[in-house]
């Protein structure tokens, strides 16, 4: 198996390390800054005898190296700075994603593409349109990360095991994300029956703001360990054909009453990419919130 990662920043390099050290696949780490990609690849490679794996990783700036990739991950782009919204990144990152997508179309036309670059949903839509790939083969990492953050904060608040919390977060990977409270349970009990409304609202707000909370604390850079873990989980689902349900940003064609945008919904992920879109029964409030989230994404796409 071969996974190519475009962008050797903190997220891209950490994804590369997770993939090779788990033994999932060989990796190509590509960046316009060739020395950075090469340096990080050598550093990860030097740990192989310690970790005890036989996978390879090479750093490069040559798109010919991504040929025959099973998966290509796009992390290339500028990270948010304190005070910057995801939408403000569009003008800066759209040009980068267009160029990367065009090269994937040429050099890795049979690959499945996972988009990580922000603003996630509009960049996923842009990648889908630029590559011309089937929608099953282009999707963005969003709900896996947002859901993990929600689970972590609930477990902290209630002092329960993380594994006891079940949830889905749909919609935009941004301020208008939609936690499905109707599908959120703690030890099998509905969340709204075990947590007060005020505390639940505070946790939801912190989940929405978690990315910027991390950005503000770091001063420079943004989250990398949790996003890389979310990408790794998606890569694992594809290469090991798990058929597990993950919330990913995908271009809808009538599902959930939406069409012509990329937005986070639960999907069955396997060797062929998105193998099914799961349409959950939503409450009236959740339907309205998802529609509002979709409108925000539409505005971002219009800027493209």
Catalytic sites, residue numbers: 173
Distance CA(95)–CA(118), nearest Å, equals: 12
* Rounded-to-5 percentages of helix, strand, coil across the chain: 50, 20, 30
Taking the CB of residue 246, how many other CB atoms lie within 10 A of it? 23
User: What six digits make up the tokens of 43?
Assistant: 């550093």
**55 alpha carbon, distance to own chain's centre:** 24
CA distance 53 to 47: 9
The answer for residues whose C-beta is within 8 angstroms of residue 198's C-beta and 6 or more apart is none
CA nearest neighbour of 249 among 184, 177, 166: 177
- Give the CA dihedral 248, 189, 152, 71, nearest 10 degrees: -20
3-state secondary structure of 94: helix
Cis upstream peptide for 202 (omega within 30°): no
Q: State the DSSP H helix or E strand holding residue 57, giving kind and residue range, or none if neither.
A: strand 57-60
Cα(256)–Cα(279) distance, rounded to whole angstroms?
A: 7
- Cα(200)–Cα(206) distance, integer angstroms: 10
SS3 90: helix
């Amino acid at each position: 198996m071969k996974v190519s990662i475009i962008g050797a920043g903190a997220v891209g390099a950490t994804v590369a390390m997770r993939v090779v050290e788990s033994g999932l696949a060989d990796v190509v780490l590509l960046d316009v800054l060739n020395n950075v990609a090469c340096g990080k690849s050598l550093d990860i490679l030097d740990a192989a005898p310690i970790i005890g794996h036989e996978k390879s990783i090479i750093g490069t700036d040559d798109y010919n190296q991504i040929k025959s990739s099973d998966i290509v991950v796009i992390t290339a782009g500028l990270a948010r700075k304190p005070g910057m919204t995801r939408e403000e990144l569009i003008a800066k990152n759209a040009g980068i994603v267009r160029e990367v997508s065009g090269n994937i179309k040429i050099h890795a036309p049979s690959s499945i593409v996972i988009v990580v670059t922000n603003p996630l949903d509009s960049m996923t839509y842009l990648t889908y349109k630029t590559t011309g790939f089937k929608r099953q083969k282009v999707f963005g990492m969003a709900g896996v990360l947002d859901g993990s953050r929600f689970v972590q904060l609930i477990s902290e608040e209630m002092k329960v095991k993380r594994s006891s919390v079940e949830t889905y977060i749909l919609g935009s990977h941004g301020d208008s994300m939609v936690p499905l409270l109707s599908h959120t349970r703690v030890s099998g009990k509905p969340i709204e029956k075990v947590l007060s409304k005020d505390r639940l609202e505070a946790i939801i707000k912190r989940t929405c703001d978690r990315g910027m909370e991390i950005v503000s604390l770091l001063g420079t850079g943004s989250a990398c360990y949790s996003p890389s873990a979310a990408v790794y989980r998606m890569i694992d689902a594809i290469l090991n054909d798990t058929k597990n349900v993950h919330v990913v940003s995908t271009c809808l064609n009538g599902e959930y009453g939406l069409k012509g945008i990329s937005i986070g919904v639960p999907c069955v992920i396997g060797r062929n990419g998105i193998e099914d879109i799961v349409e959950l029964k939503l409450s009236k409030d959740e339907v309205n919130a998802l529609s509002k989230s979709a409108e925000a994404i539409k505005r971002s796409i219009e800027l493209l």
